[in-house]
Chains A and B, each alone.
Chain A
C-alpha cells in the first residue's frame, strides 16, 4: 500500500513512497483526501477510488465556478471543462 507522511497537525498529507510514516488505507496518489487524527489515517472520501474522488470534487468545483465572485463581490461565473477533457490538436479549435 502507498505510504504517506503528514504535517505535525495532521492536516497536510503528502505521498511519500520511500519514507512515508503511514500506510494509506486505500491505494491512492491524491494526498488531499487524507488527514491524520490521533495517529490514524482518515480518508475523507471513505475509501472510494481516486477517480471517484475526482468526480466528487468536480461536482463541488462546478458549483463553485457557477457561483464565483471576485473580491468585490461581483459575479464572475465560468465553466469547467469536463473530467474526460481531451485537448484538440492545434488547428482543431484550441490554442
Chain B
C-alpha cells in the first residue's frame, strides 16, 4: 500500500509487485476476461462491423424516404402587418408566424409587399406579393416562411428573381421533395440550395466543354429539367432567335449519382455529366445524346421568354414535355420523343392577352410547381400584363403526353398554386376580398382524379380544361385583419414543422 500527499509518501515494499501479479493472474485465468479477449481478437470483427455500418448508412441515404405531406400557409400583410397561419394536408392548423417589419430584407419593400390591394396591370410596384410569377417550386421570391412570431423570413426579391427565373423542374422519387434548385444560364449549370439566391452554389460547371456535351453555344434561361426516378437530365439551348433548339439528354443511373440526394456531394454533377458523356459509370448505365429541332409557333420567335425559357419535364417514359409562354399570345405545350426524334405540338393551347415575360425583367414569365408524389408538374404564367390571372398546363411526369389545361382570365390580381396532399394542388385567386364572413377562397385540383376521367361532378378527357375556380371552399380559413384584404397561399419551405 502506498499513501502519499504533497509532502509525505509511505511505501510498503513488495505491494506493487503483488498487485501486478494478481492482476496478471486475473487477466490470464478469469473466464469472462478471456471471453472478451477472444471476441476482440476475432479477425476482422470491428472492421466488418464498421464496413457494415457504412454500407447501411449508404443504403439508408439512398432510400426513397417519403416526406410529410405538404404544408402550406395562408398569408396576409395588411398595411405592413404580415401574419400567416400554417396548415397541413389534413386541413389542420399546425402553426403560425409573423414577420419583423424592421428587418433588413423586409423593410426596403414596405408598401410593395402589401396584400390589401389588387395589382391589375401594374408591375413590381404595389401589392405584388400575390402576383402569379412570384411563386415557384423553388420558393417564393420574397417570402420564406417559418413558424413562430417575430421571425425574419423575407428574402431579397431583386436577387432571387435572377435565380428562380433560371431554375428548372426537379422531379424526385415518390414522396421526396426536391432537395436543390437546378440552375441553367447560358451554358452555366449549377446545383444550388433550394430557393436561395443570388450568390452561392454547391457546384457550378460550364456545359460548353467536350467532357460534358456537344454544346452549340446558344442561349438558355433555365431550360432544364431533371428526373431522379430515371436519373435523366435534360437541358435545352436555343441555337438562335428563331426557336431552333438543341436538346441535350444525359442519363446516369450509376451508384451515388443521384442529383437529388438528401445530402449533396460536390462533384456529383461533374461525374453525372462526364460519365454520361463517355457512357461509362459504375453500378448502372450512362448515356448522352443531343437532338436538334425547331418549335416556332404563335410569334414565339419575338420574345426572349418564348425563345429561352421553356419549362422542361423529362418523363419516366423518355418523352420530354416542354411548356412555354409566348407573351401576349399563348401558353402552349409540346413534347419531344428522342427515340423517334419527333416533335409533337398538337396539344390544346391557352390564350393570353397582353402579358409579359422575362423580356420585362426576371420577376415575370412562366413558373412551375410539382405535387408531393412528383407525378404532376404545373407550368403556369400570368394571363394579363405582369402578374394577374393564370394560364396553367398540368403535365404528367410519368408520361408527358398526359396533360390538362386551366385558365383564370383575371385582370385584377394574381393566383397561387401550392402542393396539397399526395397528388393535388391547392389554388386560390387573390382577386376576391377576404373581408367579412368569407375568408379565403380555396380550390382543390385533383389531377389523379382527372387522369381517371373524373372532375368534381363531370368527366374529363386528356387535354381537357380543369376549372380551377369552381367548387371553391369558403369560410374555412381566417386571415389577419378585418378590412379589405387579398391574402395568398404559400408553400412552406419545409413540410415538417420544426424541421
Name A's B-contacting residues (CB within 8 A): 5, 7-8, 12-19, 29-32, 50, 53-54, 57-58, 60-61, 64-65, 68-74, 76, 78, 80-81, 83, 85-87, 89-90, 94-95
Given contacts A83-B328, A87-B302, are A71 and B112 in contact (CB under 8 A)? Answer: yes
Question: 1/0 contact trace for B435-471 toward A, CB 8 Å?
Answer: 0000000000000000000000010110011010110
With a cutoff of 8 Å between Cβ atoms, the chain B residues found around residue A61 in the complex are: 120-121, 354, 385
* Shortest distance from the beta carbon of B55 to any chain A beta carbon, whole Å: 49
- Asked if B50 is at the interface (CB within 8 A of a chain A CB), the reply is no
Mask for B348-388, Cβ within 8 A of A = 1, else 0?
10110110101110000000000000000000000111000
Q: How many chain B residues have a CB neighbour from A under 8 Å?
A: 53
Cβ contacts under 8 Å, B464 to chain A: 18-19
Q: Which residues of A contact B408 (CB under 8 A)?
A: 12, 14
Q: Are A68 and B409 in touch, CB under 8 angstroms?
A: no
Shortest distance in angstroms between A8's beta carbon and chain B's nearest beta carbon? Answer: 8
Are A16 and B126 in contact (CB-based, < 8 A)?
no
Interface string of B390-418 (1 = CB under 8 A from A): 00000000000000001111110000000
8 A-B contacts (beta carbon < 8 Å): A15-B407, A15-B465, A61-B120, A71-B111, A71-B127, A80-B121, A83-B354, A89-B241
Closest to B127 in A: A71
Return the contact of A68 from the options B125, B384, B407, B469 (Cβ within 8 A).
B125
Is B360 a contact of A81 with CB atoms below 8 Å?
yes
B117 near A71 with CB under 8 A, answer: yes
On chain A, the residues within 8 Å of B409 by CB distance are 12-15, 30-32
State A65–B354 Cα separation when bound (angstroms). 14
Given contacts A29-B351, A71-B111, 9 further A-B contacts (CB under 8 A): A15-B350, A15-B409, A17-B348, A31-B351, A31-B407, A32-B411, A69-B126, A73-B111, A87-B307
Closest chain A CB from B316 CB (angstroms): 27
B114 within 8 A of A: yes
A70-B112 contact given A14-B467, A16-B465, A57-B353, CB 8 Å threshold? yes
